[in-house]
């Protein structure tokens, strides 16, 4: 077992890689009662087509999410949710664009819960009958989300930002597509991507790392390393797909969504550092303590705001979504902010200090640590033990040079107005 010191955070991450390629990351806490376990595969809705053993696969849209639902149906009839609930443990699963994870969290029965989680994820049971039954359930879920204004707004923005990327598509697929899914599709996906060398386990909280590794090896050592599928690469264009759109919905307060598309192929900054600098930029411009936010509050221009960066190969996208009684004025203010960027060294250093303090504070929270570490594993391939050091070394001059390489007119804007 390898011990990795998380620099500046007074924590150690223990890592182990089984001979079949399965990675295990563990961060134990002596001062907590609870624990969190995630068993994840690097398979999400981004993967649309692949080749394996000279065979091509292109299942219907939404298959990764559908597969996640069906993992909870076991041949022995034991319902995983019931099993965990009876032991006072929470359980859940989620599918995103780039991963699917199965989780449990609680304060007791760690060994039993870890064993059960590993077993049920490693024993798929798909039949024509249970697959058909699930189609109606997921179809209702898709229809429900289509009626949620914020979801509708985001999907319109995604379709307008991306021309080719699967990020323009709903993770759950469409009703017409999921009707095509068969048990053979599910087994093809499972056998291609639910393999040890494409999966990892993350455990954080109160547990014994040696015992955890022993259980994992007993349960999964027999699994064989397999050749990873060759996923079809999808090239995305550098410019936004659609610049502006206005849509109507059953809302009282108008909403806006803005996407800034940043091609990164010619930016000579490592991916993690680039993410930090881009986040620094938008925090300075639109963060909770920004001049923009202060003026928007004073002018009663902003009801709520949401900011996020997203990564795909060779591209970063910034999302800004907000509700406002004055959508056109808010859009103009945002455009003006992007065209007149002035970064002061004092503001840059102040935010650096806040970030460092937050990193130190978050390590005391199991939930925050799980979210941080999981995202790093997915985005950068492994944990990032020196993130605090990287933040400390950030320079305002690098951000200023980066700004010169961004086309701030490469925007997509969606306005959502009330139906009359």
305-323 residue pLDDT tens: 999 999 999 999 999 999 9
Residue 420 pLDDT greater than 90, yes or no: no
pLDDT at residue 118, rounded to an integer: 97
Tell me what the pLDDT averaged over the chain comes to: 96
Active-site annotation holds for 219: no
User: pLDDT of 258-272, one tens digit each?
Assistant: 999 999 999 999 999
| Tens digit of each residue's pLDDT (9 = 90 or more) over 116-147 | 999 999 999 999 999 999 999 999 999 999 88
At residue 381, does pLDDT exceed 90? yes
52 — phi, psi (to 5°)?
A: -150, 135
Using CA atoms of 121, 127, 133, 139 in order, give the dihedral in degrees to the nearest 10.
60
CA distances from 224 to 27, 125, 196, 347 (A): 26, 20, 7, 52
Q: Where are the domains of the chain?
A: 2-231, 244-418
Model confidence at 87: pLDDT above 90: no
What digits encode the pLDDT tens for the residues 19-51? 999 999 999 999 999 999 999 999 999 999 999
DSSP letter at 229 equals P
* Mean pLDDT along residues 327-348: 96
Residues ≥6 apart with Cβ < 8 Å to 174: 61, 62, 142
Tokens standing for residue 412 = 């997509």
pLDDT in tens, 59-84: 999 999 999 999 999 888 889 999 99
Is 98's pLDDT higher than 90?
Answer: yes
Domain 2-231, CATH class in plain words: alpha beta
Judge whether 411 and 258 are in contact, CB under 8 Å. Answer: yes
Structure pTM?
0.95
**Which of 68, 154, 177, 236 is labelled catalytic?**
68
Per-residue confidence (pLDDT) for residue 5, from 0 to 100: 95
pLDDT bin (cut points 50, 70, 90) of residue 180 is very high
CATH fold for the domain made of 244-418: Cytochrome Bc1 Complex; Chain A, domain 1 (3.30.830)
- Distances in Å between the Cα of 35 and the Cα atoms of 86, 103, 120, 266, 361 are 17, 11, 19, 42, 18
């Amino acid at each position: 077992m390898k011990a990795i010191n998380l620099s500046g955070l007074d924590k150690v991450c223990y890592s182990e890689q089984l001979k079949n390629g399965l990675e295990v990351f563990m961060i134990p806490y002596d001062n907590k009662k609870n624990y969190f376990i995630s068993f994840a595969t690097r398979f999400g809705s981004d993967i649309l087509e692949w080749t394996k053993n000279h065979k091509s696969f292109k299942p219907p849209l939404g298959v990764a999410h559908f597969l996640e639902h069906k993992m909870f149906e076991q041949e022995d009839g034991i319902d995983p949710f019931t099993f965990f609930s009876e032991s006072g443990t929470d359980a859940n699963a989620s599918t995103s664009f780039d991963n699917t994870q199965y989780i449990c969290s609680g304060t007791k029965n760690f060994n039993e819960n870890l064993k059960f989680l590993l077993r049920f994820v490693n024993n798929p049971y798909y039949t024509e009958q249970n697959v058909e039954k699930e189609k109606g359930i997921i179809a209702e879920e898709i229809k429900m989300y289509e009626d949620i204004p914020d979801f509708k707004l985001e999907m319109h923005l995604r379709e307008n930002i991306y021309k080719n990327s699967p990020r323009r598509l709903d993770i759950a697929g469409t009703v017409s597509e999921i009707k095509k899914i068969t048990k053979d599709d599910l087994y093809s996906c499972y056998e291609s991507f639910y393999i040890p060398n494409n999966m990892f386990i993350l455990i954080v909280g109160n547990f014994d790392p040696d015992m955890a590794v022993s259980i994992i090896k007993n349960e999964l050592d027999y699994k064989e390393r397999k050749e990873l599928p060759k996923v079809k690469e999808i090239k995305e264009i550098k410019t936004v797909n659609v610049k502006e759109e206005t849509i109507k919905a059953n809302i009282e307060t108008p909403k806006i969504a803005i996407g800034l598309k940043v091609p990164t192929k010619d930016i000579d900054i490592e991916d993690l550092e680039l993410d930090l600098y881009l986040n620094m930029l938008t925090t300075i411009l639109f963060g909770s303590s920004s001049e923009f936010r202060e003026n928007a509050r004073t002018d009663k221009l902003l009801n709520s705001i949401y900011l996020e960066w997203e990564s795909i190969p060779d591209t970063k996208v910034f999302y800004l979504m907000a509700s406002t009684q004055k959508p056109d004025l808010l859009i103009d203010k945002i455009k003006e902010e992007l065209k007149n960027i002035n970064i002061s060294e004092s503001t840059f250093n102040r935010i650096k200090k806040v970030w460092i303090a937050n990193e130190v504070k978050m390590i005391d929270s199991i939930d925050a640590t799980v979210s941080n570490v999981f995202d790093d594993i997915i985005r950068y391939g492994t944990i990032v033990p020196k993130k605090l050091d990287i933040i400390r070394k950030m320079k305002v001059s690098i951000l200023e040079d980066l700004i010169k390489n961004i086309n701030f007119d490469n925007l997509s804007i969606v306005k959502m107005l009330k139906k009359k």
